[in-house]
Amino acid sequence: KAGVTQTPRYLIKTRGQQVTLSCSPISGHRSVSWYQQTPGQGLQFLFEYFSETQRNKGNFPGRFSGRQFSNSRSEMNVSTLELGDSALYLCASSRGGEAFFGQGTRLTVV
Amino acid sequence: AQSVTQLDSHVSVSEGTPVLLRCNYSSSYSPSLFWYVQHPNKGLQLLLKYTSAATLVKGINGFEAEFKKSETSFHLTKPSAHMSDAAEYFCVVSEGWKTSYDKVIFGPGTSLSVIP
């Protein structure tokens, strides 16, 4: 079966712009989580969605937001981009206690 | 409170020699423990998991880990390193894995290099 799909794979944006990243979970998985990975901070939890509801949120500013649709696909949005938002954004879908990660979206803010 | 310590930020081994990646954790409850591997420009792949069953856990690609409660450790081992094992490895602890992701903590990662 298909894995977790994240689009786009690479993105270059300018400071002050906004960006939307997409994550399609494995079929049948209703839980989707987002992580930010940077060389300095490692992997940091952003938020988790289950059945269209945000269940948990990490310690990130309000510029970071997300949502989940009825088909379990999820999007995350970052507004007013800053240079420090440059990172690999990973999405994971889970079921039965095991998480499967996508390849990530590499965001570069210039 | 949960925390995860990966004692080595970088490990270098020769091909064919054993691999040991160390992980220590702290948890208020009986945790679930995981090892994930990330190859360059790839997502994370689950290597193995411990969820209060057998303390010696076997994973993919010949890796295994032993849960030692008395030492609060969950070290990852492999008898013989292969060039394809070169990657970043993350130890993960969770106290609510099956219901919530707000208590999942990733370790800082250990970069494994394999020398031909």
* Cβ contact A97–B46 (<8 Å): no
* pLDDT of the residue at A55: 85
Average confidence (pLDDT) over B34-59: 88
**Rounded-to-integer distance, Cα A91 and Cα B78, Å:** 28
Per-residue pLDDT band for B103 (boundaries 50, 70, 90) equals: low
- Residues of chain A found within 8 Å of residue B100, distances taken between Cβ atoms: 48, 55-56
**Rounded-to-integer distance, Cα B100 and Cα B90, Å:** 19
Q: Which of A48, A57, A103 sits opposite B43 (nearest CB)?
A: A103
* Cβ contact B101–A31 (<8 Å): yes
Residue B31 preceded by cis peptide, ω within 30? no
Mean pLDDT of chain B: 88
Mean pLDDT of chain A: 91
Percentage with pLDDT > 90 across chain B: 60
The bridge status of strand B104-106 relative to strand B10-14 is unpaired
**With 60 as the cut, is the pLDDT of residue B25 above it?**
yes
Sign of CA dihedral A77, A24, A44, B83: negative
* pLDDT of the residue at A97: 61
* Cβ contact B43–A97 (<8 Å): no
Query: Closest approach of chain B CAs to the CA of A81, in angstroms?
Result: 23
Asked if A63 and A80 count as a contact pair (C-beta separation under 8 A), the reply is yes
pLDDT tens-digit map of A42-88: 888 898 898 899 988 889 999 999 999 999 999 999 999 999 999 99
**With 50 as the cut, is the pLDDT of residue B101 above it?**
no
Within an 8 Å CB–CB cutoff, is residue B51 touching chain A? Answer: yes
**Rounded-to-integer distance, Cα A47 and Cα A65, Å:** 8
* pLDDT of the residue at B3: 84
DSSP label at residue A26: P
Q: Which two tokens stand for residue A45?
A: 């939890």
**Rounded-to-integer distance, Cα B47 and Cα B89, Å:** 9
Within an 8 Å CB–CB cutoff, is residue A31 touching chain B? Answer: yes
pLDDT tens-digit map of B58-74: 999 999 999 998 999 99
* Backbone torsions φ then ψ of A83, nearest 5 degrees: -55, -35
